[in-house]
């Protein structure tokens, strides 16, 4: 029986990965909180990973708030890069397959207008994106079998698992309060159901190492995405979704060709949102 360890189990993604893995009966699951494994402590990383020797480590812990990274780049580097390096070194020594949660924020600042591919040369425009890209490089250098997943912004509805403000809850709150939200036709990005991401992660034990765009593609801009989401929630887009005029160009939307070649796919963003609401 394979053993899968997960970090970040008090966050958004970690608990969903834990639930998805527990549904697979042939896997032993080791969920780690910060108290059990603070991965910024190298000795602790050696001790904990050395004693459990998991087959796979899903590293879903991070400082994921982009604003917090801008405010404290040194502190976030320690968590988002140095901690990943400690984990990667021990994974290499123990033969553990490392699955790392990176982000589509590595594509910030890119002027490319088509869906991004993993091969693009990048220079992220924010601290968080630069940290994620650096951590991907650390993993590629130390663990060629390791996987870095460029995740989109994720969503879920409030339920048994912890949620934080996300695209759907923001729109629902605006509908409840009758507020107008502004979205730009110059903003392009995918959005993915957190539970779908978690389920797809459980299938990654055997895929080749490397960087993968991992989430829903999106063929439409964010203004259109918001309008369609309001409609799917039974609201009137004219009342809730306003057009942000002259919004700055941003393209985080990506191609999932590489992932599909490895046998894994995601529904398109609007289809995924409709599935989740159903
Ligand atoms: N959520 C998204 O939409 C999204 C999008 C793209 C990429 N990602 C990436 O996906 C991963 C999961 O995101 P998330 O939204 O689940 O993050 P989250 O909700 O912010 O949770 C972060 C987790 O990391 C843990 N953590 C932070 N520093 C730690 C340390 N030194 N030692 C041990 N644990 C530590 C936190 O534990 P405490 O509770 O103890 O603080 C928490 O469990 C992250 O790498 C994030 O950057 C997320």
- Residues near ligand 1 with C-beta < 6 Å? 7-8, 10-14, 34, 38-40, 60-62, 64, 79, 83, 101, 103, 151, 153-154, 164
68: pLDDT confidence band, cut at 50, 70 and 90? Answer: very high
Q: What is the pLDDT of residues 10-48, one digit of tens each?
A: 999 999 999 999 998 789 999 999 999 999 999 999 999
Q: Global pTM?
A: 0.98
Cβ contacts of 234 within 8 Å, gap of 6 or more: none
Q: Whose CA is nearest to atom 32 of ligand 1?
A: 38
Residue with tokens 């159903």: 278
Distance from residue 32's CA to the centre of ligand 1 (Å): 12
The residue among 77, 104, 97, 102 whose CA lies nearest residue 142 is 97
Token pair recorded at residue 268: 């398109």
Q: What is the pLDDT of residues 202-261, one digit of tens each?
A: 999 989 999 999 999 999 999 999 999 999 999 999 999 999 998 899 999 999 999 999
Q: What is the pLDDT of residues 186-196, one digit of tens each?
A: 999 999 999 99
Predicted local confidence at residue 158, as pLDDT: 94
Q: What is the pLDDT of residues 207-217, one digit of tens each?
A: 999 999 999 99
Predicted local confidence at residue 25, as pLDDT: 79
Token pair recorded at residue 129: 């994106």
**Separation of alpha carbons 125 and 107, rounded Å:** 8
**Separation of alpha carbons 188 and 52, rounded Å:** 42
**Separation of alpha carbons 40 and 79, rounded Å:** 6
> Does the pLDDT at position 98 exceed 90?
yes
């Amino acid at each position: 029986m394979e053993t899968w360890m997960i970090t970040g189990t008090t966050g958004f993604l970690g608990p969903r990965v834990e639930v998805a893995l527990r549904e697979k009966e042939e896997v032993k699951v080791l969920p780690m909180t910060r108290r059990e494994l603070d991965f910024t402590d190298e000795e602790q990383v050696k001790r904990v990973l050395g004693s459990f020797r998991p087959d796979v480590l899903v590293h879903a812990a991070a400082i994921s708030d982009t604003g917090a990274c801008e405010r404290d780049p040194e502190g976030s580097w320690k968590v988002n890069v140095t901690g990943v390096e400690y984990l990667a070194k021990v994974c290499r020594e123990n033969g553990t397959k490392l699955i790392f949660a990176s982000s589509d924020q590595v594509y910030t600042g890119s002027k490319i207008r088509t869906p991004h591919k993993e091969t693009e040369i990048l220079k992220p425009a924010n601290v968080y994106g630069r940290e994620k890209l650096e951590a991907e490089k650390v993993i590629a250098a130390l663990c060629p079998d390791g996987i870095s997943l460029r995740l989109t912004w994720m969503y879920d509805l409030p339920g048994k698992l912890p949620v934080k403000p996300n695209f759907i809850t923001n729109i629902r709150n605006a509908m409840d309060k009758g507020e107008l939200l502004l979205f730009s036709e110059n903003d392009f990005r995918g959005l993915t159901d957190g539970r779908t991401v978690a389920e797809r992660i459980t299938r990654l034990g055997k895929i080749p190492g490397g960087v993968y765009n991992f989430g829903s593609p999106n063929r439409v801009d964010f203004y259109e995405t918001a309008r369609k989401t309001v409609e799917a929630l039974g609201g009137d887009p004219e009342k809730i979704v306003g057009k942000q005029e002259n919004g700055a160009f941003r393209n985080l939307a990506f191609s999932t060709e590489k992932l599909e070649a490895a046998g894994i796919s995601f529904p398109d963003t609007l289809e995924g949102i409709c599935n989740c609401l159903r």
